[in-house]
């Protein structure tokens, strides 16, 4: 599987320059982002939404690119290659074949989709060059560096393997859909990624999960986190219904969906009336009341997802005989499934790209160019290359003062020896603290650079943060931060988890017994029952975890 070149300039594998700068871009679908690597080192990466404040912004990442250039202290003239994370012509081929295959169904969707493709997406090379020239007005389109295109899952696989601490590993990519692939397996070794097999559209674990996201009243491509957070309050009563009707799941983890129940291939919705009938009624309206049905559906599809991931992982271990596994694609952000996979002990270790969704494709595209296209050697020293995912911009003290003064904000300056005790005291008093330090995180998780902090021991903290601070559903979980060397004191895990991508159990000595009445509670009523002495981060004795390698999140690390 190779990169596609769209410039007349030949590939030069023997550069005399001291450094080579490569910009990777993801855009136009969701979670647009940009990344800069310099001679294999990750210099910067950022999502466009962090600058525009539009969640999951899909527009061309002009602000993210400018940020990467500024962090790298270069201009567009210093960039050697620009790489896009997708092959639009192959995606267009998939759309046409899908519409033809389902015809005459999908005509309304076809009429809506085609004008956009015929006007812009089909001519993406020209659109990209126009947008890139606007990033740096000192150069013309003809002066732009060469433009390359990776395949979508190739970019995902590269984002997972090349920054990982493993010399050799299986690489499993699971998402909605790229060009055709929805699930793909790769063997990563040294500086190469060798494709093994793939499952193609419309059969997709990511789209199956998104179908339940839609049906339970959440927004596709952004509400999947909510579905995962809702799952602990339900029962897995629909698991067999899903396996009997919606998916033909093989023992090796490969699968086919029964498209009679889905509408996403050619329609404007994810599911259809057959799906409604199977689960006792139409989808919940986005503003409707959450009922036990939605909680049970969330728990059921979560259980099915975990089973599929486990079966696929067993197949990876059997077929490739590898000790390590890397994961990427939107499904890899399901930290509950990741935690269960880790507990199975199929591999010595697993590593998940912290920006596992489409944003990470920008980084993967750049890394794929450096290692695969330019055939540069890869050095592995047992530490991942992501630098804690702190890859975005940062502000110095003067910038912060200038901004606060410009909006007439009251503030006081405290040195660290005064600031840190004050923050600790505020947290102990059940106050909420906004924490801003260092470089911005790359990926969807707050990892101590841009975080909201609270005391995990507080029974009311989860609700306070959700309802009064973040203005979101009360059931959404939070992750604790803990010293690396203390993690095994509290939780059933023996390794660091710096990217909030694993879920595990609170140790028995911190769990609280339930009364007979509490055991009978259903649904959201369970939210009010403390399950451990760390109630703000414990749900059914399961929690999301962010473990830092050196110091707590409230300190400078």
**Nearest to residue 442, comparing CAs of 119, 146, 163, 125?**
163
User: What are the pLDDT tens digits along the chain (557 aa)?
Assistant: 444 444 433 343 333 456 899 999 999 988 999 999 999 999 999 999 999 999 999 999 999 999 999 999 999 999 999 999 998 878 777 777 776 777 677 666 766 767 776 666 767 888 899 999 999 888 888 889 989 999 999 999 999 999 999 999 999 999 999 889 999 999 999 999 999 999 999 999 999 999 999 999 999 988 898 899 899 889 999 999 999 999 999 999 999 999 999 999 888 899 999 999 999 999 999 878 899 999 999 999 999 999 999 999 999 999 999 999 999 999 999 999 999 999 999 999 999 999 999 999 999 999 999 999 999 999 999 899 999 999 999 999 999 999 999 999 999 999 999 999 999 999 999 999 999 999 999 999 999 999 999 999 988 888 888 887 776 777 777 888 888 889 899 988 888 889 999 988 889 898 888 777 766 666 666 666 778 888 888 875 444 444 443 333 332 22
CA angle 121, 126, 131 (to 5 degrees): 95
Do 240 and 183 contact (CB within 8 A), yes or no?
Answer: no
Do 347 and 139 contact (CB within 8 A), yes or no?
Answer: no
What is the pTM assigned to this prediction? 0.90
Q: Answer left, alpha or beta for residue 151, where phi above 0 means left and psi between -120 and 50 means alpha.
A: beta
3-state helix, strand, coil in the chain (%, to 5): 40, 15, 40
What residues contact residue 513 under an 8 Å CB cut-off, 6+ apart? none
Do 34 and 65 contact (CB within 8 A), yes or no?
Answer: yes
The per-residue pLDDT for 531 is 80
Do 221 and 32 contact (CB within 8 A), yes or no?
Answer: no
Query: If DSSP codes are grouped into helix, strand and coil, which group holds residue 543?
Result: strand
Token pair 């984002």 is found at 159
The per-residue pLDDT for 522 is 66
The topology under which CATH files domain 197-349 is Nucleotidyltransferase; domain 5 (3.30.420)
Please, what is the angle between helix 358-368 and helix 152-161, to 10°? 80
The per-residue pLDDT for 117 is 64
Would you state the structure tokens that stand for residue 455, as one six-digit string? 């005391």
Question: Model confidence over 68-98: pLDDT tens digits?
Answer: 999 999 999 999 999 999 988 787 777 777 7
Do 544 and 228 contact (CB within 8 A), yes or no?
Answer: no
Residues of the chain with CATH 3.90.870.20: 397-437+445-547
Residues of the chain with CATH 3.30.420.40: 4-163+356-388, 197-349
Calpha distance 520→527 (Å, rounded): 13
Query: In CATH, what is the architecture of 397-437+445-547?
Result: Alpha-Beta Complex (3.90)
What 102-110 contacts at long range (C-beta under 8 Å, 24+ apart), as own/partner pairs, is 102/265, 102/266, 105/266, 105/267, 106/265, 106/266, 106/267, 108/267, 108/268, 109/266, 109/267, 109/268, 110/266
Calpha distance 296→523 (Å, rounded): 9
The per-residue pLDDT for 385 is 97
Instruction: Kindly report the CATH class assigned to 4-163+356-388.
Output: alpha beta
Bridge partners of 450?
436
The per-residue pLDDT for 494 is 84
Q: Where are the alpha helices (DSSP H) in 30-106?
A: 49-52, 62-72, 88-102
The per-residue pLDDT for 15 is 38
């Amino acid at each position: 599987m190779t990169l596609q070149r769209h410039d007349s300039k030949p590939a030069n594998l023997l550069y005399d320059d001291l450094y080579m700068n490569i910009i990777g871009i993801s855009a136009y679908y969701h979670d647009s982002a940009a990344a800069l690597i310099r001679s294999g080192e990750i210099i910067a990466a950022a999502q466009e939404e962090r600058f525009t404040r539009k969640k999951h912004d899909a527009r061309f990442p002009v602000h993210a690119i400018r940020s990467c250039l500024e962090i790298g202290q270069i201009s567009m003239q210093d960039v050697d290659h620009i790489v896009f994370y997708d092959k639009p012509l192959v995606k267009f081929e998939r759309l046409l074949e899908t519409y033809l295959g389902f015809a005459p169904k999908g005509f309304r969707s076809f009429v809506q989709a085609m004008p956009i493709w015929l006007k812009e997406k089909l001519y993406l090379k020209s659109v990209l060059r126009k947008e890139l020239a606007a990033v740096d007005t000192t150069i013309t389109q003809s002066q732009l560096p060469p433009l390359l295109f990776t395949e979508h899952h190739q970019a995902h696989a590269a984002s997972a393997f090349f920054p990982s601490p493993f010399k050799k590993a299986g690489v499993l990519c699971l998402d909605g859909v790229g060009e055709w692939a929805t699930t793909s397996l790769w063997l990563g070794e040294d500086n190469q990624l060798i494709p093994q097999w793939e499952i193609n559209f419309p059969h997709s674990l990511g789209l199956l999960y998104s179908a339940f996201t839609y049906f339970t009243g959440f927004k596709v491509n952004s509400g999947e986190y909510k579905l995962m957070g809702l799952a602990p309050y339900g029962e897995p009563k629909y698991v067999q219904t899903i396996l009997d009707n919606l998916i033909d799941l093989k023992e090796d983890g490969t699968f086919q969906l029964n498209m009679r129940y889905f509408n996403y291939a050619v329609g404007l919705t994810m599911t259809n009336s057959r799906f409604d009938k199977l689960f006792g009624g139409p989808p919940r309206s986005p503003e409707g009341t959450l009922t036990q049905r939605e909680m049970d559906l969330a728990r059921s599809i979560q259980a099915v997802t975990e089973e599929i991931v486990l079966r696929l992982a067993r197949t990876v271990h059997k077929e490739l005989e590898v000790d390590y596994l890397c994961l990427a694609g939107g499904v890899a952000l399901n930290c509950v499934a990741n935690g269960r996979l880790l507990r199975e002990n199929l591999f010595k270790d697993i590593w998940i790209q912290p920006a596992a969704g489409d944003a990470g494709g920008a980084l993967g595209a750049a890394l794929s160019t450096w290692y695969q296209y330019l055939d540069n050697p890869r050095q592995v020293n047992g530490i991942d290359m992501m630098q804690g995912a702190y890859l975005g911009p940062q502000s110095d003290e003067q910038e912060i003062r200038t901004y606060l003064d410009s909006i007439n904000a009251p503030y006081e300056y405290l040195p660290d020896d005064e600031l840190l005790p004050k923050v600790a005291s505020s947290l102990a008093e059940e106050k909420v603290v906004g924490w801003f330090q260092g470089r911005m995180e790359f990926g969807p998780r707050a990892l101590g650079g841009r975080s909201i902090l609270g005391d995990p021991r507080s029974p009311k903290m989860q609700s306070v943060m959700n309802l009064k601070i973040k203005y979101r559903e009360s059931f959404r979980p939070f992750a604790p931060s803990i010293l690396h060397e203390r993690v095994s004191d509290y939780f059933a895990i023996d390794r660091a988890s710096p990217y909030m991508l694993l879920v595990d159990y609170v140790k028995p000595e911190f769990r609280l017994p339930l009364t007979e009445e509490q055991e009978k509670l259903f649904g959201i009523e369970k939210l009010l029952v403390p399950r451990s002495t760390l109630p703000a981060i414990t749900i059914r004795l399961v929690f999301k975890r962010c473990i830092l390698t050196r110091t707590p999140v409230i300190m400078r690390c």
